Amino acid sequence: MKKLLLLFSFALITSSVTLACTNFIVTKGASKDSSVMVVYTCDGEFHPHLGITPAGDHPEGEMITLNNWSAGVKGKIPQVDHTYAIVGPHMNEHQVSIGETTFGGREELHDTTKFLHYWDMMHLTLQRARTAREAVKVLTGLAEKYGYGSTGESFSIGGPQEAWIVEIIGTGPGRDGAVWVARKVPDGYVSGHANKSRIGTFPRNDPQNCLYSDNVVSFAVEQGYYDPDAGKPFRFNEVYDPSTPSNLRYCATRVWSMFNRVNPNLNLSPDYHRGVQGAERYPLWIKPEEKLSVDDLTQVIRDHYEGTPFSMRQGITAGPFGNPNRCRPLVFEVNGRKASWERPISTTKTGFSFIAQSRSYMPDPVGGVLWYGMDDTYTTCYFPLYAGIDSVPQPYATGNIKEFSSQSAWWVFNFVANFANIRYNRMVKDIREVQQELEGRFIAEVDSIDQKALQLYRRNPDKMQEMLTRFSVSRGNQAFNRWKKLGKKLICKYNDGYINNEKGRPEKHGYPQHWYRRAVKNDSTRYLPQWEKDTTEATEPTMF
């Protein structure tokens, strides 16, 4: 029943909104602790539910019913003999994790009659795959056998040993199968994608590191997307997801920023994501300047382009208090020309996000850790969920988007993030202080929990699961309760335009000087008249 509820919840939310996500991949040789890490921000206006899908044995002939929520078409596929447990949204008991970003691609290749969608494929793959490579084959095999009902999709697949990027798109109405390519990220490198196809050219004689569908080139030729006689290399991304100034601005900027964060010495030019024709593309993967930790990755995805010319914390659009959040739509028209806001990695529209950590040198129940958070990455708190647990903290599994509930973690984190918009530059410091305290403590605690779990692994696996579950649930509840307390503190501290001090007394903290200058420049009547022989200083008659 839990499995059915989770599938229903995820499918329903993804059919009602357009999800626009960000992924980052770290290989063993690029991480400080030799773990493979997959980062996934699932961005969209929806209320997620955290859950557990238990492992199961299934009788011969059992079928799975899948729904196309937008068209009501139903389809069935055979169940396998045994399915693996899944913790949270996207990590299974064998430390295999999957993230995704939707790139859309050519609209005519979207077949709405097909019942198998990318969220179905992710869930089914996690139930059936023991390694990242096996997950690639299961995922693509499902699409080839049953058809593919979503638009273009990029997947990040990680496991204890390796990580892959898989990109797939349909073949359009009336045709079977799908078109896809998968590339293994070289050890020691990192990669990322953000709603735009990233795989360009690829080797066709290296099955250890690159897999692809038989029709990947021939279908493009058949459809007139690619002319092999034109003398240009075949690029999957440009053939199936052609670049435009809009999708480069929206998508490539995030990849550029992630890469610059982890290796600023590359000095990657902004020209490509600014839509300069002929500009050099960003590589599919890079080597980070230093090896990365879980804490490093939380900072990579807490990004509004700070420290770059595109910082959303500066300028008139950030308001007087350096607010990086922009109301949708991002693309708008002024004087007959299209314009846009930036689309950052960190956004208020995030439903949930995670850092999936897979550690090959530990048994699966201990080695897999899903660092999970709800709402905006900048103001959330990531807590650990071990792969070997059998329940999750209740506040993360309850609530809906139609009604505020103080028992829902999503609403509690959402409230804090939204309230911070009132006086962002001040409030976000209070939020980050609590965030860093808790996350730092959780990261430190994992080391000791690992050792305790390893001692119990062979001696008493049931007790180990109980201990890991108790730890994971308690840390999720700690984050939830601390955020409830934080929300109440922010209401009291930042009230009616004042900032109340520790004694509860209001203090005046007005606007920054640059904002005052802009205000009087816009409306000079704000200047007070100057009387002759009036030497008194202009002051407010009362504080209130």
3-state secondary structure 217-284: CHHHHHHCCCCHHHCCCCCHHHHHCCCCHHHHHHHHHHHHHHHHHHCHHHCCCCCCCCCCCCCCCCCC
Q: What is the mean pLDDT of residues 412-440?
A: 97
Spatial distance between the Cα atoms of 131 and 248, rounded to a whole number of angstroms? 33
Rg over alpha carbons for the chain, rounded to the nearest Å, is 25
Of the pLDDT bands very low, low, confident and very high (cuts 50, 70, 90), residue 13 is very low
Q: What is the mean pLDDT of residues 326-340?
A: 92
For residue 347, report the phi and psi dihedrals to the nearest 5 degrees: -140, 150
Picking from 309, 331, 296, 323, the residue whose alpha carbon sits closest to that of residue 443 is 296
User: What distances in angstroms separate CA 462 from CA 55, 456, 466, one per listed residue?
Assistant: 15, 9, 6
**pLDDT for res 16:** 41
Spatial distance between the Cα atoms of 149 and 138, rounded to a whole number of angstroms? 16
In the chain, what are the domain boundaries?
Answer: 2-303+345-352, 362-495
Q: pLDDT, tens digit, for every residue of 293-313?
A: 999 999 999 999 999 999 999
For every residue of 393-454, DSSP letters joined together read: -GGGG--BTTB--TT-HHHHHHHHHHHGGGSHHHHHHHHHHHHHHHHHHHHHHHHHHHHHHH
Q: pLDDT, tens digit, for every residue of 55-104?
A: 999 999 999 998 776 666 688 999 999 999 999 889 999 999 999 999 99
User: Mean pLDDT score of the chain, rounded to an integer?
Assistant: 93
Q: Does residue 515 register a pLDDT over 60?
A: yes
Q: What is the mean pLDDT of residues 333-337?
A: 94
491 alpha-carbon distance from chain centroid:
28
Of the pLDDT bands very low, low, confident and very high (cuts 50, 70, 90), residue 543 is low
Picking from 337, 175, 192, 187, the residue whose alpha carbon sits closest to that of residue 256 is 192
Residue 491: strand, helix, or coil: helix
**pLDDT for res 532:** 80
Q: Which of 6-10, 345-349, 487-491, 519-523 has the lowest mean pLDDT?
A: 6-10
Joined together, the tokens standing for residue 156 give 């990040």
Q: Does residue 460 register a pLDDT over 90?
A: yes
Determine contact, residues 468/388, Cβ cutoff 8 Å. yes
For every residue of 12-62, DSSP letters joined together read: HHHHHS----EEEEE-GGGBTTS-EEEEEEEESS------EE--EE--TT-
Strands 210-212 and 178-184: antiparallel
Spatial distance between the Cα atoms of 233 and 222, rounded to a whole number of angstroms? 17
Determine contact, residues 279/268, Cβ cutoff 8 Å. no
Percent of the chain clearing pLDDT 90 (strictly above)? 89
Spatial distance between the Cα atoms of 401 and 403, rounded to a whole number of angstroms? 6
**pLDDT for res 74:** 80
Q: Does residue 405 register a pLDDT over 70?
A: yes
Q: Does residue 250 register a pLDDT over 90?
A: yes
Give residues with Cβ within 8 angstroms of 495, minimum separation 6: 506
Q: What is the mean pLDDT of residues 485-493?
A: 97
Q: pLDDT, tens digit, for every residue of 100-155?
A: 999 999 999 999 889 999 999 999 999 999 999 999 999 999 999 999 999 999 99
**pLDDT for res 15:** 40
For every residue of 496-514, DSSP letters joined together read: TTEEE-TTS-EE-----HH
Spatial distance between the Cα atoms of 82 and 59, rounded to a whole number of angstroms? 9
Question: pTM for the complete prediction?
Answer: 0.94
Token pair 């990669």 in the structure block, residue: 191
Of the pLDDT bands very low, low, confident and very high (cuts 50, 70, 90), residue 393 is very high
Joined together, the tokens standing for residue 319 give 């308001």
178 alpha-carbon distance from chain centroid:
25
Spatial distance between the Cα atoms of 345 and 336, rounded to a whole number of angstroms? 29
Of the pLDDT bands very low, low, confident and very high (cuts 50, 70, 90), residue 1 is very low
Q: pLDDT, tens digit, for every residue of 167-206?
A: 999 999 999 999 999 999 999 999 999 999 999 999 999 9
Task: Quote the DSSP letter at residue 88.
Answer: T
Percent of the chain clearing pLDDT 70 (strictly above)? 94
**pLDDT for res 531:** 85
Spatial distance between the Cα atoms of 228 and 323, rounded to a whole number of angstroms? 49
